[in-house]
Chains A and B, each alone.
Chain A
Amino acid sequence: MIFLDNLINGLSLGSIYAIIALGYTMVYGIAKMLNFAHGDVIMVGGYMAFCGLQYWGVPTVLSLVIAMAVCTVLGVTIEGLAYRPLRQAPGLAVLITAIGMSYLLQNLALMIWGANPKSFPTTFINGSSIRLGSLNISSATVYTILANVIIMVLLTLFTSRTRMGKAMRCVSQDRGAAQLMGINVNRTITVTFAIGSALAAIAGVLLCSSYPILQPTTGSMPGIKAFTAAVFGGIGSIPGAMLGGVLLGVIEIFGKAYISTELGDAIVFAVLIVVLLVRPTGLLGKAVREKV
Chain B
Amino acid sequence: MTKAKRNRLIYNMITYGLVIAAFIILQSMVDAKTITRSLKGQLVPICAWVVMAVSLNLVIGFSGELSLGHAGFMSVGAYTGTIVSGWMLNVFDVQDTTLRLVVAILAGGLMAGLAGTLIGIPVLRLRGDYLAIVTLAFGEIIRNLVNVLYVGIADGRLQASFLKKTLPSQAIMLVDGAKGAVKIKPISNFTMGFILVMITLIVVINLINSRTGRAIQATRDNRIAAESMGVSVIRYKMTAFVTASVLAGMAGALYGLNATTVVPTQFTFNQSINVLVFVVLGGLGNILGSVISAAFLTVLPELLREFSDLRMLLYAIVLILVMIFTNNPLIRDFIGRLFQSLRRRFSHGSQDETTGGETK
Contact A270 B141 (CB under 8 A): yes
Chain B 113-157 against A: per-residue CB contact (8 Å), 1 yes, 0 no?
Answer: 000000000110111011011101110110011011000000000
Chain A 98-116 against B: per-residue CB contact (8 Å), 1 yes, 0 no?
Answer: 0111011011101100000
State whether the Cβ of B21 lies closer than 8 Å to any Cβ in chain A.
no
| In the bound complex, CA of A99 to CA of B315 (Å) | 11
Contact B134 A108 (CB under 8 A): no
Provide the residues of chain B in CB contact with A93, threshold 8 Å.
280, 323, 326-327
State whether the Cβ of B312 lies closer than 8 Å to any Cβ in chain A.
yes
| In the bound complex, CA of A28 to CA of B133 (Å) | 14
Q: With A103-B319, A292-B224 given, is the CB distance from A228 to B137 under 8 Å?
A: yes
| In the bound complex, CA of A86 to CA of B144 (Å) | 35
Binds A, one of B43-51, B269-277, B288-296: B269-277
Contact B145 A266 (CB under 8 A): yes
State whether the Cβ of B52 lies closer than 8 Å to any Cβ in chain A.
no
Contact B313 A104 (CB under 8 A): yes
Provide the residues of chain B in CB contact with A108, threshold 8 Å.
313
Contact B224 A290 (CB under 8 A): yes
Q: With A99-B319, A224-B269 given, is the CB distance from A111 to B309 under 8 Å?
A: yes
Contact B320 A263 (CB under 8 A): no
Contact A82 B315 (CB under 8 A): no
| In the bound complex, CA of A86 to CA of B329 (Å) | 8
- Min Cβ gap A82→B in Å is 6
Contact A89 B144 (CB under 8 A): no
Contact B136 A92 (CB under 8 A): no
- Min Cβ gap A265→B in Å is 5
| In the bound complex, CA of A231 to CA of B135 (Å) | 13
Using CB atoms, name the residue of chain A closest to B324.
A85
State whether the Cβ of B251 lies closer than 8 Å to any Cβ in chain A.
no
Contact B134 A276 (CB under 8 A): yes
Using CB atoms, name the residue of chain B closest to A264.
B144
| In the bound complex, CA of A113 to CA of B224 (Å) | 51
Using CB atoms, name the residue of chain B closest to A85.
B328
Provide the residues of chain B in CB contact with A273, threshold 8 Å.
122-123, 134, 137-138
Provide the residues of chain B in CB contact with A76, threshold 8 Å.
none
Contact A86 B316 (CB under 8 A): no
Q: With A89-B328, A281-B130 given, is the CB distance from A104 to B320 under 8 Å?
A: yes
Chain A 278-290 against B: per-residue CB contact (8 Å), 1 yes, 0 no?
Answer: 0011100000001
| In the bound complex, CA of A93 to CA of B329 (Å) | 12
Using CB atoms, name the residue of chain B closest to A101.
B320
Contact A96 B276 (CB under 8 A): yes
Partner of B140, one of A110, A262, A269: A269
Provide the residues of chain A in CB contact with B309, threshold 8 Å.
110-111
Provide the residues of chain A in CB contact with B144, threshold 8 Å.
262-263, 265-266, 269
- Min Cβ gap B135→A in Å is 10
| In the bound complex, CA of A111 to CA of B308 (Å) | 11
State whether the Cβ of A90 lies closer than 8 Å to any Cβ in chain B.
yes
Contact A262 B148 (CB under 8 A): yes
Contact A231 B133 (CB under 8 A): yes
Chain A 50-93 against B: per-residue CB contact (8 Å), 1 yes, 0 no?
Answer: 00000000000000000000000000000000100110111011
State whether the Cβ of B66 lies closer than 8 Å to any Cβ in chain A.
yes
Contact A92 B320 (CB under 8 A): no
| In the bound complex, CA of A88 to CA of B331 (Å) | 12
Partner of B126, one of A107, A110, A266, A276: A276
State whether the Cβ of B163 lies closer than 8 Å to any Cβ in chain A.
yes
Using CB atoms, name the residue of chain B closest to A290.
B224
State whether the Cβ of A17 lies closer than 8 Å to any Cβ in chain B.
no
- Min Cβ gap B146→A in Å is 10
State whether the Cβ of A235 lies closer than 8 Å to any Cβ in chain B.
yes
State whether the Cβ of B284 lies closer than 8 Å to any Cβ in chain A.
yes
Provide the residues of chain A in CB contact with B138, threshold 8 Å.
269, 273
| In the bound complex, CA of A273 to CA of B121 (Å) | 12
Chain B 154-166 against A: per-residue CB contact (8 Å), 1 yes, 0 no?
Answer: 0000000001000
State whether the Cβ of A154 lies closer than 8 Å to any Cβ in chain B.
no
- Min Cβ gap A196→B in Å is 17
Using CB atoms, name the residue of chain B closest to A231.
B133
Provide the residues of chain A in CB contact with B326, threshold 8 Å.
93
State whether the Cβ of B13 lies closer than 8 Å to any Cβ in chain A.
no
Using CB atoms, name the residue of chain B closest to A227.
B133
| In the bound complex, CA of A93 to CA of B123 (Å) | 23
Would you list which residues of chain B between 256 and 311 have a CB under 8 Å from chain A?
269, 273, 276-277, 280, 284, 309
State whether the Cβ of A272 lies closer than 8 Å to any Cβ in chain B.
yes
Contact A97 B324 (CB under 8 A): yes
Using CB atoms, name the residue of chain B closest to A92.
B280
Provide the residues of chain B in CB contact with A106, threshold 8 Å.
312
Provide the residues of chain B in CB contact with A41, threshold 8 Å.
none
State whether the Cβ of B317 lies closer than 8 Å to any Cβ in chain A.
yes
State whether the Cβ of B60 lies closer than 8 Å to any Cβ in chain A.
yes
Q: With A265-B144, A269-B138 given, is the CB distance from A90 to B327 under 8 Å?
A: yes
State whether the Cβ of A277 lies closer than 8 Å to any Cβ in chain B.
yes
| In the bound complex, CA of A94 to CA of B312 (Å) | 20
| In the bound complex, CA of A85 to CA of B329 (Å) | 8
| In the bound complex, CA of A263 to CA of B163 (Å) | 9
State whether the Cβ of A34 lies closer than 8 Å to any Cβ in chain B.
yes
Would you list which residues of chain A between 239 and 292 have a CB under 8 Å from chain B?
260, 262-263, 265-266, 269-270, 272-273, 276-277, 280-282, 290, 292
Provide the residues of chain B in CB contact with A277, threshold 8 Å.
122, 125-126
**B129, B269, B323, B326: which has the most chain A beta carbons within 10 Å?**
B323
- 11 A-B interface contacts by CB (under 8 A): A28-B129, A82-B320, A92-B284, A96-B280, A97-B323, A103-B316, A108-B313, A111-B313, A260-B163, A273-B123, A277-B125
5 further A-B pairs in the complex, CB-CB below 8 A; given A85-B331, A103-B315: A93-B327, A100-B319, A224-B136, A224-B269, A260-B163
| B positions within 8 Å CB-CB of A | 60, 66, 122-123, 125-127, 129-130, 132-134, 136-138, 140-141, 144-145, 147-148, 163, 178, 224, 269, 273, 276-277, 280, 284, 309, 312-313, 315-317, 319-320, 323-324, 326-331, 360
